[in-house]
Amino acid sequence: MILPPCGPLRVYATLTFFDSLVPGIMLAGGVLFFTEVAGLGAVQVGSGLSVATLAGLAAALPAGRLGDRIGHRRLLIGLSLLRALILAGYQCVGSYPTFLAVACLAGLAESGVAPVRQAYLGTITTAENRVATLAFNRVVRNIGATLSTPALGVALAVDSPFAFRVLIGAGAVSVLVVAVIATRLPETRTVVPAAGPPAPKPAAVRGRAGVLRDRPYVALSLLNGLLIMHMELLEIGMPLWVTGHTGAPAWTTSVLLFTNVLVAIGLQIRVGRGVTDVGSATRALRSGGYCLLAASALFAASGTLSPVWSVAVLLGAVVMLTLTELLQSAGSWGLSYDLADPARLGEYQGAWSLGTQLVRACGPLAVTLALSSLAHLGWILIGTLYLAASTLPHLLTRRTTPATPTPTPQSAHP
């Protein structure tokens, strides 16, 4: 893995690393904190987190628009400080109403910061190196999340309220570090490229409705949300299937998750290099569809085999599922930037994230119902529908003219 050159891209990668520590800490540590320390029930925590995810949908588009107006770097710093404050506020949670209020604030902040961060990255990269840069940062994020998980193991070993409070406090400090690092990034603005006359802004994005009038882009964002379903299959479908429908040993789930991380770290940059335009982005999504269909077939087959063969087939299924993840992410990055209006990059990234958040809110229920009620047939149905959905971006982009080339990043201060 080659480090980006000194300058904004390397600073941004450092920011990504510290930001990635938070999900690793909060994924399971947050749930245990609320049940073991705050005294909430599991159903209360689950319902509160679902409500918070849905509440976050309201923040993505306004945050992107605000970033376009006042500067993405400035808003990134402000939202990071807010996230740190909210995480620190978890220490005061002692009842369900308080938890619900703080969780919804956290959902709004997390949803708002994602498009702002993505839009800023678009101003410090070019069309030629953007997907590769995003792939590098995805690898950094995977490494950071992996390195943060031992902290949860320490908290579980100590098994005291103080240990869990320290764990959540570490998450708040990590986000505070993100805000500090963001101050080292240059303020940027987008300008029309000097070469050639500026292309007219697409009529679909004029007016106050903005990106919401760009129907092909909105449709692609929702479709991309469906294609992110591979995350629910890995995090929810796979563990439930291994423990409930196969004869594989109990430790198999940990091995499969670790395999996912290794393959993602090893191949994400290589896969990202293959996406250079809209055409290659749609081909990547379609290839991901074939990979997920293969993974689904292997998962279904694993439930009919002996324990040894079941583990071997499950490993193959997770490799194919990880390839789906890598291809889908690279294709998504290509489409979300290349089809966006450069003058409203934050707004467009906010719209693109809506599909992802909808699936993250509703996906767990859909995956659980499909696999619990249909079992082996559920995997085949999921794989077939996913493959069909992966072919639609090509049809939606065939008659879509990409937005003007991404402007050369310029410093806001000469």
Residue range 253-271, pLDDT digits in tens: 888 988 998 999 999 989 9
208: confidence class by pLDDT, cuts 50, 70, 90: low
285: confidence class by pLDDT, cuts 50, 70, 90: very high
Query: What's residue 24's pLDDT?
Result: 65
Q: Are 363 and 375 within 8 A, CB to CB?
A: no
142: confidence class by pLDDT, cuts 50, 70, 90: confident
pLDDT tens digits for 402-414?
444 444 444 443 3
Lowest mean pLDDT among 12-16, 81-85, 247-251: 247-251
Evaluate whether the domain defined by 8-189 bears CATH number 3.30.70.100.
Answer: no
Q: Residue 400: pLDDT above 60? A: no
Query: What's residue 259's pLDDT?
Result: 92
192: confidence class by pLDDT, cuts 50, 70, 90: very low
Query: What's residue 201's pLDDT?
Result: 42
Mean pLDDT of 354-373: 81
Query: What's residue 189's pLDDT?
Result: 62
Query: What's residue 51's pLDDT?
Result: 86
Mean pLDDT of 129-145: 88
Q: Which amino acid is at 18?
A: F
Q: Residue 305: pLDDT above 60? A: yes
How far is residue 325's CA from residue 108's CA, in Å, rounded to a whole number?
Answer: 25
**Residue 185 vs residues 19, 117, 120, 340: alpha-carbon distances, Å:** 15, 12, 10, 23
- pTM for the whole thing? 0.81
Mean pLDDT of 313-332: 95
Q: Residue 5: pLDDT above 60? A: yes
Q: Between residues 127 and 406, which one has the greater pLDDT? A: 127
Q: Between residues 139 and 403, which one has the greater pLDDT? A: 139
**Residue 368 vs residues 234, 239, 287: alpha-carbon distances, Å:** 12, 11, 25
Query: What's residue 211's pLDDT?
Result: 83
Q: Residue 194: pLDDT above 50? A: no
Average pLDDT over all residues of the chain: 84
Mean pLDDT of 111-134: 89
Q: Residue 281: pLDDT above 90? A: yes
Query: What's residue 197's pLDDT?
Result: 39
203: confidence class by pLDDT, cuts 50, 70, 90: very low
In order, the DSSP letters of 96-135 are HHHHHHHHHHHHHHHHHHHHHHHHHHHHSS-TTTHHHHHH
Ramachandran class of 402: left when φ > 0, alpha when ψ lies in -120 to 50, beta otherwise: beta
Mean pLDDT of 128-153: 84
Q: Could you give the angle at the alpha carbon of 123 between the alpha carbons of 117 and 124, nearest 5°? A: 95
SS3 321: helix
Closest CA to 205 of 410, 72, 108, 346: 346
33: confidence class by pLDDT, cuts 50, 70, 90: confident
Evaluate whether the domain defined by 211-397 bears CATH number 1.20.1250.
Answer: yes
Locate the domains of the chain by residue range.
8-189, 211-397
Query: What's residue 408's pLDDT?
Result: 44
Query: What's residue 184's pLDDT?
Result: 94
Query: What's residue 199's pLDDT?
Result: 37
SS3 231: helix
Lowest mean pLDDT among 199-213, 223-237, 388-402: 199-213
